[in-house]
Chain A
């Protein structure tokens, strides 16, 4: 145990591991790049669908089922399928990671919009807002904390899983794990795992900070009840709340 720890510290202490195309900074950037790209794709797909289904209340049951179905797909299997279809390159890992990130964003957006007080939505309509105004000016701003919760959990899942990119000859922190395994260089494997875990922790803390800043002041007092609902959504997705 002690020996392993020493070797790990030795690995991190080696200046060669901190420079060049295989150095930690470069791998970290790649890893973050994949994460950002996959998250962006997931947002583009899941936000509008979740918002629309939440707003109309139609198809909620279908949406929850779909989200759970996607969640059940094994990322590695999916990656293999995409590689077989599209060849190696950036597309397969990003596609696989996007599929991973869509369910939490979708569920968060849908649940967030549904959780907006119906009286508030009723008043918005009664004041003479058009449907898109109701969604953009009232429902989404009030759903933001729950949506953000979904995005946060999606981002964490991507960061943890983006190691798969290395399977298809791409970069990222996963390289240390894959290469280390291939070369039977266990300190390197361990260093890769530690880096991924550390990145996840830092990212989560960053999200928590942003969440505090973006939550609108007016909602803070009434938010306590809703924050509870975020975790409820995560825990009870199978039951969900069909529209």
Chain B
């Protein structure tokens, strides 16, 4: 879908930002460009919509040299999202989103209607359409930026660090949202980030650049973690890459053991009887986990009393087991649930969030060893 052929960019001051980049982005899927600051990610990205012209080499989109079409026409067919959002301060959110349809000559009503659809698609309430960008939060602005880029339904989307200016919680939301959107829309997305975790979370394929604009490795995330091409990639991918690689291994071999549960608000005496190895998961009426109670926490409490919030210790991360239609839980999820739990048992939940059992770190590691023996672990 997008093809770089020996594309090189040398700026007037002699800086070589991109050096002989040759790389093919397959249609559909998210391709991540990642690398240290100044390694030429943005420059490479901007060659695709001709915001930067290569000094030598060519860039093709859909099999055609980008230089064949006039800049403005080419750009209207390629979505563009940047970190600072670049929303037009003097236009309402709805008019911002309608920008490209209007430029392409759509009638106003239709463009507005389309913009309203997109507002909904990116998960924003319709009332926000009448506001101005300055009246939105950073996360909302970024969603509007994505909606604006998608308005004319371009097959290709370029995103330059779109989520790096928002706080980690909002960033995680936006990332999940992008994955959901991508499942629905199946665009070809080129996404620049300097955050390797983001690259691995979002990318179907990841291109790691080194300083000087040279491509170091272009691979699937699991392969990047499992087989870094050289020391630079290995160190860039990070210290705990072995642990993070577990995120790509399904946890299907991990046995889900039984776990004691007690109802929030039930009697302390009943809770004491239910404890197993001194611990029980406290659940609400929908069997969703609230936290843990322990023998030591309950000792000395009147048996007639109810299990209240004060007696509950907060739990660790939850491990969502394989559920029909949902994504398979990974070994990383299972291990993290076990390691972060106060009882050393990770709480396993189903797709609705209800407790189905527990896992231990020991079981996870044994499942990993088994998978390795069966040759299921790439190495």
Interface residues of A (CB under 8 A from B): 117, 119-130, 133, 138, 141-142, 216-222
Q: Give the residue of B51, B74, B134 whose beta carbon is less than 8 angstroms from that of A218.
A: B134
Contact of B103 among A119, A127, A217, A220 (CB under 8 A): A127
The answer, yes or no, to whether B72 is at the interface (CB within 8 Å) is: yes
Cα A216 to Cα B72 with chains together (Å): 27
Among listed B80-88, B231-239, B262-270, interface-contacting one: B80-88
A124-B86 in contact (CB<8A) = yes
Contact across chains for A141 and B90 when beta carbons are under 8 A apart: yes
Contact status B88-A128, CB under 8 Å: no
Across the A-B interface, how many residue pairs have beta carbons closer than 8 Å? Answer: 81
Who on chain B is nearest to A119 by CB? Answer: B84
Q: Kindly identify which residue among A119, A127, A218 contacts B100, using a CB–CB cutoff of 8 Å.
A: A127
Q: Are A123 and B103 in contact (CB under 8 A)?
A: no
User: Given A123-B82, A125-B75, A128-B72, A218 and B89 touching (CB < 8 A)?
Assistant: yes
Supposing A123-B86, A127-B103 touch, asked if A218 and B72 sit within 8 A by C-beta, the answer is: no
B133 located at the interface, meaning its Cβ lies under 8 Å from any Cβ of chain A in the complex: yes
Tell me whether A119 and B82 are in contact (CB under 8 A). yes
A218 near B132 with CB under 8 A, answer: yes
Q: With A218-B133, A222-B134 known to touch, is A127 a contact of B80 (CB < 8 Å)?
A: yes
- With a cutoff of 8 Å between Cβ atoms, the chain A residues found around residue B193 in the complex are none
With contacts A127-B103, A133-B103, A218-B90 known, is A119 near B85, CB below 8 A? yes
The complex places the Cα of A190 from the Cα of B51 at a distance, in Å, of 62
With known contacts A218-B132, A218-B133, A221-B135, A127–B90 Cβ distance under 8 A: no
Known interface pairs A142-B90, A219-B134. Does A127 touch B84 (Cβ–Cβ under 8 Å)? no
Interface centre among B73, B99, B100 (most CB of A within 10 A): B99
In the complex, how many angstroms separate the beta carbon of A232 from the nearest chain B beta carbon?
20
Residue of A nearest to B100 (CB): A127
| B54-80 interface bits toward A, Cβ cutoff 8 Å, 1 = contact, 0 = none | 000000000000000001111111001
Distance in angstroms from B294 CB to nearest chain A CB is: 51
Tell yes or no: B91 within 8 A of A by CB: yes
* Most chain B beta-carbon neighbours within 10 Å: one of A119, A120, A221: A120
- Bound-state CA distance A174–B368 (Å) is 95
Within 8 A of A (CB), among B125-147: 132-135
7 intermolecular pairs with C-beta atoms under 8 Å apart: A122-B51, A123-B80, A126-B82, A127-B76, A127-B99, A141-B90, A216-B132
* CB neighbours of B87 from chain A (8 A): 120, 123
B88 touches A138 (CB 8 A): yes
Complexed CA–CA distance, A120 and B80 (Å): 12
Contacts of B51 in A (CB 8 A): 122, 125-126
Say which residue of B77, B80, B84, B132 sits within 8 Å of A217 (CB atoms).
B132
- For A222, the closest partner residue in chain B by CB is B134
Q: How far is B45's CA from A126's CA once the two chains are assembled, in angstroms?
A: 12
Tell me whether B49 is interfacial, beta carbon within 8 Å.
yes
Closest partner residue, chain A, to B73 (CB atom): A128
**A124 in contact with B88 (CB, 8 Å):** yes
Of A121, A124, A218, A221, most buried by chain B (CB within 10 Å of CB) is A218
Contact with A216, one of B77, B82, B90 (Cβ below 8 angstroms)? B90
Give 19 A-B pairs besides A126-B86, A127-B148, A128-B73 with Cβ atoms closer than 8 angstroms: A117-B86, A120-B87, A122-B82, A125-B75, A126-B49, A126-B80, A127-B99, A138-B90, A142-B90, A216-B90, A216-B132, A218-B133, A218-B134, A218-B135, A219-B134, A221-B132, A221-B134, A222-B89, A222-B134
